C-alpha cells in the first residue's frame, strides 16, 4: 500500500509541475527549484524512485534512510521558505505530511500485498517518465509556445533615469490584439497569470481599491489557451469587465503576482502577494514626485 501511495504522489506531483510552473505561494520566491525545474518535478522523481525502492528492495534500512532523508529535506525546504516569506505552499505541506507518515508505515509494513505485487513491474516506468519531464521541462516549453511568441517584447524605458519627468513605458497588446503603451508614471502595472491561483489574492485586493488607484491589469507568462481564461479569472475576483492587457514578462520579473511602478526617476518592482499587500495598505501611492 505504501508503494501505491508513492506512485500516486509521483503522478500528482507531475500534474502539479505541468499545471503550475511556479510555486503556489511566495515561499518559493528565492527557491524556485533546481536547474530551472520546479520542485514539483523534482518531487515527482523522488516519489517515483521511492515507489520502486519500496516495491523491489529487499533491505529496509537503506530504503528507510532514503525515504526519511527526502522527508527531512522537504520539511527543511518548507521551513526555510517560511522563514523568508512567512508563507507555506498550500499543496507542498500536504505532500510533506505524507512524506513523514509513509516512512513510518513502511517501517512497520508486514510485506507486499497482492496489489503491490501487481504494480511492482509497471512502477519501473515512473522514474523514467519523471526524468523525461525533468529533461523536457514543460514549463519552459509552455512559455515558448505559440501563445507566448505572439506577444510583443516588453520595453521599459526610463529605468534609473535621473530625470523624474522621463516616463517609463511597457509595450503590451490589448485583448483585441492592438499594440499599446502603458505609462508607469500614470498608473502601476499588476502582472498576473491565468494559471496562477495565488494571483487571485492580489486581484481581489486590487478590486477593493478606488478605481482611480487601481493599476493596469497585465496578463503575462501566457500559455496556450490562457487568453480565453483571463476574463473569467478577473470576473471571479471582482474585476468583471475591467480592461486588461497581455505581454511577455520583463526580464526582471521572476514570479507573479507582481507590481511595477515608477517612483521619481526609478522603476520599482514588488513581487509576491505580501509585497503587493504592503503597497495597497500604504494607500497605493506609486509616484513620489
Is the CB of residue 244 less than 8 Å from the CB of residue 271? no
Q: How far, in Å, are 1, 79, 116, 123 from residue 67 at the CA level?
A: 15, 18, 18, 17
Nearest to 249 by CA among 218, 225, 271: 218
pLDDT tens digit string along 216-255? 999 988 877 888 899 999 999 999 989 999 987 666 777 7
pLDDT band at 138 (very low <50, low <70, confident <90, very high): low
34 class by beta-carbon count within 10 Å (0-12 exposed, 13-18 middle, 19+ buried): exposed
Pairing state between β 266-271 and 245-246 = unpaired
pLDDT band at 115 (very low <50, low <70, confident <90, very high): low
Give the helix, strand, coil percentages of the chain, each rounded to 5: 50, 10, 40
Q: What residues have CB less than 8 Å from 181, skipping those under 6 apart? A: 169, 170, 171, 172
Q: What residues have CB less than 8 Å from 208, skipping those under 6 apart? A: 238
The yes-or-no verdict on residue 213 having pLDDT over 90 is: no
Is the CB of residue 154 less than 8 Å from the CB of residue 248? yes
pLDDT tens digit string along 249-269? 666 777 788 888 887 777 888
All structural domains of the chain: 2-141 (no CATH), 146-281 (3.40.30)
Is the CB of residue 21 less than 8 Å from the CB of residue 143? yes
Look at the pTM and tell me if it is higher than 0.75: no
Q: What is the b/e burial string over 91-120, where b = at least 16 CB atoms within 10 angstroms of the residue's CB?
A: bbeebbebbeebbeebeebeebeeebeebb
pLDDT band at 162 (very low <50, low <70, confident <90, very high): very low
Q: What residues have CB less than 8 Å from 228, skipping those under 6 apart? A: none
Amino acid at each position: 500500500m505504501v508503494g501505491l501511495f508513492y506512485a500516486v504522489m509521483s503522478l500528482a506531483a507531475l500534474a502539479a509541475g505541468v499545471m503550475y510552473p511556479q510555486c503556489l505561494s511566495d515561499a518559493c520566491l528565492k527557491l524556485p527549484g533546481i536547474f530551472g525545474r520546479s520542485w514539483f518535478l523534482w518531487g515527482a522523481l523522488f516519489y517515483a524512485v521511492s515507489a520502486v525502492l519500496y516495491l523491489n528492495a529487499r533491505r529496509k534500512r537503506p530504503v528507510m534512510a532514503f525515504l526519511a532523508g527526502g522527508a527531512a529535506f522537504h520539511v527543511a525546504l518548507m521551513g526555510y521558505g517560511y522563514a523568508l516569506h512567512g508563507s507555506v505552499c498550500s499543496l507542498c505541506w500536504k505532500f510533506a505530511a505524507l512524506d513523514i507518515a509513509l516512512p513510518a508505515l513502511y517501517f512497520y509494513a508486514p510485506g507486499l500485498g497482492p496489489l503491490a505485487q501487481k504494480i511492482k513491474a509497471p512502477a519501473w516506468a515512473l522514474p523514467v517518465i519523471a526524468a523525461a519531464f525533468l529533461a523536457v521541462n514543460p514549463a519552459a516549453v509552455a512559455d515558448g509556445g505559440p501563445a507566448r511568441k505572439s506577444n510583443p517584447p516588453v520595453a521599459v524605458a526610463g529605468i534609473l533615469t535621473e530625470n523624474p519627468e522621463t516616463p517609463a513605458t511597457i509595450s503590451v497588446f490589448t485583448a483585441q490584439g492592438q499594440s499599446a503603451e502603458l505609462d508607469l508614471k500614470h498608473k502601476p502595472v499588476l502582472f498576473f497569470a491565468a494559471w496562477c491561483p495565488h494571483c487571485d489574492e492580489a486581484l481581489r485586493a486590487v478590486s477593493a481599491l478606488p478605481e482611480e488607484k487601481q493599476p493596469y491589469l497585465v496578463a503575462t507568462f501566457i500559455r496556450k489557451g490562457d487568453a480565453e481564461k483571463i476574463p473569467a479569472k478577473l470576473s471571479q475576483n471582482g474585476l468583471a469587465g475591467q480592461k486588461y492587457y497581455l505581454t511577455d514578462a520583463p526580464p526582471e520579473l521572476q514570479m507573479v503576482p507582481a507590481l511595477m511602478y515608477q517612483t521619481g526617476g526609478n522603476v520599482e518592482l514588488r513581487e509576491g502577494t505580501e509585497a503587493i499587500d504592503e503597497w495597497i495598505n500604504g494607500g497605493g501611492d506609486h509616484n513620489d514626485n
